[in-house]
Chains A and B, each alone.
Chain A
Amino acid sequence: MSAFNAIGEEREIDRDEFTPGVEPQPTWCPGCGDFGVLKSLKQALPEVGKTPEEVLTVTGIGCSGKLSSYLDTYGFHTIHGRSLPVARAAKLANTDLEVIAAGGDGDGYGIGGNHFIHTARENHDMTYIVFNNEIFGLTKGQTSPTSPKGHKSKTQPSGSAKTPLRPLSLSLTAGASYVARTAAVNPNQAKEIIAEAIEHDGFAHVDFLTQCPTWNKDARQYVPYIDIQESEDYDHDITDRREAAEMMHETEDVLNEGTVLTGRYYVDEDRPSYQEEKAAVGELPDQPLAERYFDEDAEWERSYDLLERHT
């Protein structure tokens, strides 16, 4: 018998199960795009058959980081920029868990940038949702790595001299095997993409455009978006790395000019996840590590058996 019976439980799942009881109510501002992410997750999870207790939501710090408080799964609200290493290890320790990491653009692309690159590179089997509102929300509206050039804020009063980061191109280059962008203003597409990302075996990076009506009123997240799969201008093969890269480049160019495109940008079903690669070289046990601690028949090697080389 498994020590983790919530995992793989087969039953009808109601999306309300993902809503905490009376407490805590989201403290997000009215009209905040973060509500959109929460909603699409609540819709997607039952759809892909996940129960709240087999999901671990690991978040960083920021308005976006509160997601784990408002989505009633097992949750870990960590520290600024560090959701990915925590999430990665939870998955390695218990490969049966459904791990979802999330946080803001400052959290994920700024302070956590190094972890982002390496998690994508290793293609860990997890979903990573970045609430991209092109601003620091929680700390009251400073420029973020995705803020457009020239963007004025209290800390860049003359307008930012920096070219914004291109998160999609970055994760593709680093090695993510699923890269998509969606937006809170398009709930249907968002739900579909989140569901796909969860089901994808490998690192699924979703750049989720969210609006911050409080600090970033003129963000382009409000402008009508174009679904890239429906646009004739962007007829690319999304399973081809080079074509996908080109498409990202083009759409990130026009994003900087104010045209928002969303959809799937790169989907590679063939690349094995890190967990598979690690198992293949013999460095990941078949039985989930966490299970083993509950297994009374498990054999535990002792250092005594290693002493031969020291005598």
Chain B
Amino acid sequence: MSSDELIWRIAGGSGDGIDSTSQNFAKALMRSGLDVFTHRHYPSRIRGGHTYVEIRAADHDVQSRGDGYNFLLSLGDSFARNPQEEAYYGNEEIKPLSENLDELREGGIIVYDEGLISEEDVEAIDLEARAEENDWHVFPMDLRGLAREHGREVMRNTAGVGVTAALLDMDLEHIEDLMSDAMGGDVLEANLEILHEAYDTINTEYEFEHDLRAPEGSHETEQALLSGSNAIAYGAIDAGCRFIAGYPMTPWTDVFTILAQNFPDMGGVSEQVEDEIAAAALALGASHAGAKAMSGSSGGGFALMSEPLGLAEMTETPLVLVESMRAGPSTGMPTKPEQGDLEFVLYTSQGDSSRVVFAPSNIEEAYEQTRLAFEIAWDYQLPAIVIYDQKLSGENKNVDVEFFDREPQPDLGSTLTEDELAEAAHDASGKFKRFNHEGAENNVVPRSLPGQKGGRYLATGNEHSPVGHISEDPDNRVAQMTRRIEKLENIREELDEEHESNQTYYGDDTAEYGIITWGSSHGAVNEAVERLNDDGHAVKGISVSDMMPFPEAEVTEFLESVDEAMVVEMNATAQFRGLIQKELGRFGEKMTSLLKYNGNPFEPAEVVEGYEVNLADEDREPTAQVRIEPAAGD
């Protein structure tokens, strides 16, 4: 087995500290010079229930989880031993071992906690036979006992990390540093003791002949380990957003929490309110009064925001909303990703949509496009939505620290100062012509803010005249409506001309087979395309980020250049493919879909398989939990 990549999985009960342990270990790997990518799997329960985190580390860029993994640290579910819980959920103690074996690669390593997983349980799952068959190297260790001896039982995670480091022949230096950053005093002392004893035990008492080692790498610049939620929150901070209102809903809560925790020190205002209608209405009200404001939710909460969203469009009030998708319909699967809200986010609210929708596909884009969403929303006076999913929200990846070294942009865009207002158009009564459709550059009319001298007007969700009076005059209606809608064309032009493409291209540029994807599925597709090309197939990929206004020219060019294309997305009804067909009005016969909606994100191998099945033109189904949807007319 080569050691060009390590995929380490830590499994246990949720609430057992799996998250923080893995976060630290990922950082240690990053500090040792590797690129890392984390994937979280957890049930919708507060405590107990089987959970795992996977860290993929390599000496090259990693954009996705791998296919399977090669190191399992199985801690056992300590909460499953609570008899009351057991009545509800059955005995899940063994799950962190039994549930994870299917995806463990040949030659992989298993460390399990003898203190939490009994010998009979291990026998019951036939571990020995399976290990032999798959050439697994199994290390039963009493991690709990070791932790107890030196400190407290919960520190068994530290013991697990020590064992891991020894088996992979890693230095403890980075791990020790991180520990001393995070804790002090007796707790630190105890943890360090446990770490070292676990490490030494392996080195002195065990013999091992596996050749899996931590890969070696180095970074030229300093790296930071960040989640998608972090990136979105930081993009908002740098865009000058200082007002956030929200109501908790997984997975959006992370963004909300990060901003709520940082705003007090930044002179920002954060409000947790009674529901999502209020949350979006607050963001709108704050924006109307002159703050850069945002709100957000997941699908169910976003449904409630449809009213204020439409009001923002009609009153041309800038606003940023983020929507973190989880599997639906309704409450769906709260902790599982899906890309099922695309159509909903594009068209939520009555009337024709005049909004911008960006779908970032990785951590860097999440930051970049959140900033861009604020810029466009304030320049063009409309709502901008950033749509992403539970996967991107929770995954962590290393990013160049320098990437974030930029100037903040607290610019209110098309908002006038009082001096500028004095020069602006007013009607005979002295009212400011806030919605003056005549001579509006890029269809945008600069606005005033309440409290400014000479800027008085009425904002209303009814159709209105240039000064904001309610109006049902047909000519005015057409002029105002057209102006609002045509802003999207101006935005498209600006995006095409002044910004680097939000779309990402990869693979063999000359290939006649294309894979199209959007949002967080990008990582798996990117890697699949790379693999296919390495294996001698000619394939290219595009990951589209602009959902509205749609990048017609770019996608048209891509589709014209291929004979066949496969659209990869995590939903059951091919929503993105539908959007392409709607926007471009053709290519229906060129596109098949690869769909996955079982709650788990794509793995690269599934995309490769989709390609094979699709190209082989055989009448067979892919073996994984994905579905092929044929081209229109097939």
A307 & B401 in contact (Cβ 8 Å cutoff)? yes
Question: With a CB–CB cut-off of 8 A, which chain B residues contact A284?
Answer: 269
B83 at the A interface (CB under 8 A): no
Question: With a CB–CB cut-off of 8 A, which chain A residues contact B293?
Answer: 89, 93
| B284 CB, min distance to chain A CBs, angstroms | 6
Give the number of A-B contacts (CB < 8 Å).
235
From the candidates B268, B291, B311, B451, name the one contacting A293 in the complex (CB within 8 A).
Answer: B291
Binary flags per residue of B40-64, CB closer than 8 Å to A gives 1, else 0: 0000000000000000000000000
B243 at the A interface (CB under 8 A): yes
A23 at the B interface (CB under 8 A): yes
B224 & A54 in contact (Cβ 8 Å cutoff)? no
From the candidates B405, B418, B427, B428, name the one contacting A304 in the complex (CB within 8 A).
Answer: B405
In the complex, which residues 1-21 of chain A have their Cβ closer than 8 Å to any Cβ of chain B?
Answer: 3-7, 9, 20-21
A91 and B269 CA atoms in complex are apart in Å by 11
Question: With a CB–CB cut-off of 8 A, which chain A residues contact B451?
Answer: 4, 6-7, 53-54, 56, 74, 94, 96-97, 290
Size of chain B's interface in residues, with CB distance under 8 A?
85
Those 5 A-B pairs whose CB atoms lie nearest each other, nearest first: A21-B429, A290-B290, A89-B285, A303-B234, A86-B285
A283 and B259 CA atoms in complex are apart in Å by 12
Question: With a CB–CB cut-off of 8 A, which chain A residues contact B290?
Answer: 93-94, 289-290, 293
A215 and B401 CA atoms in complex are apart in Å by 66
A110 and B237 CA atoms in complex are apart in Å by 37
A284 and B404 CA atoms in complex are apart in Å by 27
B225 at the A interface (CB under 8 A): yes
B406 & A82 in contact (Cβ 8 Å cutoff)? no
| B603 CB, min distance to chain A CBs, angstroms | 27
With CB as the reference atom, state the residue of chain A lying closest to B415: A293
A304 & B267 in contact (Cβ 8 Å cutoff)? no
A285 and B286 CA atoms in complex are apart in Å by 14
With CB as the reference atom, state the residue of chain B lying closest to A52: B456
Binary flags per residue of B448-477, CB closer than 8 Å to A gives 1, else 0: 011111111111111000001110000000
| B273 CB, min distance to chain A CBs, angstroms | 7
A53 & B456 in contact (Cβ 8 Å cutoff)? yes
Size of chain A's interface in residues, with CB distance under 8 A?
66
A21 & B431 in contact (Cβ 8 Å cutoff)? yes
A-side residues, CB < 8 A to B, are 3-7, 9, 20-24, 52-54, 56, 58, 61, 66, 68-69, 72-79, 82, 85-94, 96-97, 114-115, 117-118, 278, 282-285, 287, 289-290, 292-294, 298, 300-304, 306-307, 310-311
A88 and B245 CA atoms in complex are apart in Å by 11
A76 & B307 in contact (Cβ 8 Å cutoff)? no
A96 and B452 CA atoms in complex are apart in Å by 11
Do A79 and B461 contact each other (CB < 8 Å), given the known contacts A93-B289, A304-B405? Answer: yes
Q: A74-B451, A290-B291, A311-B222 are in contact. List 10 more A-B contacts (CB 8 A).
A: A4-B451, A77-B459, A78-B311, A86-B288, A89-B245, A90-B288, A283-B264, A301-B408, A303-B367, A307-B224
B458 & A89 in contact (Cβ 8 Å cutoff)? no
From the candidates B274, B282, B469, name the one contacting A69 in the complex (CB within 8 A).
Answer: B469
A300 and B405 CA atoms in complex are apart in Å by 13
